[in-house]
């Protein structure tokens, strides 16, 4: 089938594109390259450098006629969402609505949407968080990512557009950019390989659920044929930032100690996901262990440097 992937030149989206093509599908990528990179693009993918908010998006739908939309593109910087909530909403809500309008107009059969398994729940009332956990986001990013889930329900009810939501935990792996807002694994690994100080915001006892990018890509392939509604994708295991630091320190041979800085506004302290629904209904579960996943990520960062 033909699949349009937004954000397909980005970290996670490019792995999803690779998995789709490996499974024998045709892939069209829409990416404005604001955070994505051309070198991530699969050579067999058809590429349009375009912002998903653009009115020109309709021309892509009219020409390519995708059967599935897989929507990974987003303003994903929590700190920027706090500083610029209007921009965050414009990209994540208005951009998604532009996709949904075109999906309905041009007969898309299924819409796969990437939400957040951390930012939308806020500070957990219980752990691990399942899909029924109360939605109490602490950042505009969490608000906008969940808002689109409501629109998806509306478009299913009003127009019959089938949809699937994946609420990713903290995704890490090769192609994660260590410069800027990229996630602690790539940031820590990049700084350690360059022999620079590594700053941990807060005490480092914050817990996150680290899920490997290849496992998330595999879920998207499964989602082409199976699943409706929302699914958490995670390991169900909380790992502290201090432990991530120490594991990467051992892998890289880094000799310095961590530098501790202020807590970042909008971050939850402890969260990890219950992905039993995905295991039960999709037959999906993570297969990559944390130690091996970290080693693969560091190997990739070494090659880049």
Residue 253 has, within 13 A of its CA and on its CB side, a CA count of: 3
Does residue 212 carry a catalytic annotation? no
Q: How far apart are CA 90 and CA 118, in angstroms?
A: 21
Tell me the backbone φ, ψ of residue 225, rounded to 5 degrees: -110, -25
Neighbours of 55 (CB within 10 A): 7
Three-state secondary structure call for residue 137: coil
Q: How far apart are CA 67 and CA 97, in angstroms?
A: 17
Helices (H), 106-229: 140-159, 184-193, 213-223
Q: Give the bridge partners for 30, in sequence order.
A: 6, 48
Q: Give the bridge partners for 68, in sequence order.
A: 3, 110
Q: How far apart are CA 229 and CA 19, in angstroms?
A: 22
Q: Which of 82, 157, 150 is nearest to 113 (CA)?
A: 150
Residues 6+ apart with CB under 8 A from 80: 87, 88, 181
Displacement of CA 71 from its chain's centroid (Å)? 10
Three-state secondary structure call for residue 257: coil
Q: Of residues 48, 141, 172, 254, which has the active-site annotation? A: 141
Catalytic residue list: 141
């Amino acid at each position: 089938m033909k699949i349009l992937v937004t954000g397909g030149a980005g970290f996670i989206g490019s792995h999803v594109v690779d998995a789709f093509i490996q499974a024998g599908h045709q892939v069209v990528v829409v990416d404005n390259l604001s955070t994505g990179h051309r070198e991530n693009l699969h050579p067999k993918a058809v590429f349009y450098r375009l912002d998903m908010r653009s009115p020109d998006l309709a021309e892509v739908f009219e020409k390519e006629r995708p059967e599935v939309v897989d929507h990974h593109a987003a303003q994903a910087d929590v700190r920027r969402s706090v500083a610029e909530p209007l921009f965050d909403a414009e990209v994540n809500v208005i951009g998604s609505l532009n996709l949904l309008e075109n999906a309905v107009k041009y007969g898309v059969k299924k819409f796969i949407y990437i939400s957040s398994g951390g930012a939308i729940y806020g500070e957990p009332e219980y752990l691990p968080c399942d899909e029924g956990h109360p939605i109490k986001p602490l950042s505009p990013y969490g608000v906008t990512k969940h808002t689109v889930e409501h629109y998806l329900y509306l478009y299913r009810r009003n127009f019959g557009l089938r949809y699937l939501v994946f609420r990713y935990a903290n995704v890490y792996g090769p192609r994660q950019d260590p410069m800027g807002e990229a996630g602690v694994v790539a940031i820590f690994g990049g700084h350690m390989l360059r022999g620079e100080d590594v700053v941990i915001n807060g005490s480092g006892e914050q817990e996150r659920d680290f899920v490997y990018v290849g496992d998330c890509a595999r879920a998207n392939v499964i989602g082409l044929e199976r699943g409706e509604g929302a699914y958490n994708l995670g390991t169900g295991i909380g790992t502290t930032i201090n432990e991530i630091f120490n594991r990467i320190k051992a892998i890289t041979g880094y000799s310095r100690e961590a530098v501790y800085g202020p807590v970042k506004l909008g971050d939850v302290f402890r969260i990890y996901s219950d992905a039993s629904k995905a295991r039960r209904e999709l037959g999906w579960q993570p297969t990559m262990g944390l130690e091996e996943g970290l080693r693969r990520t560091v190997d990739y960062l070494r090659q880049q440097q």
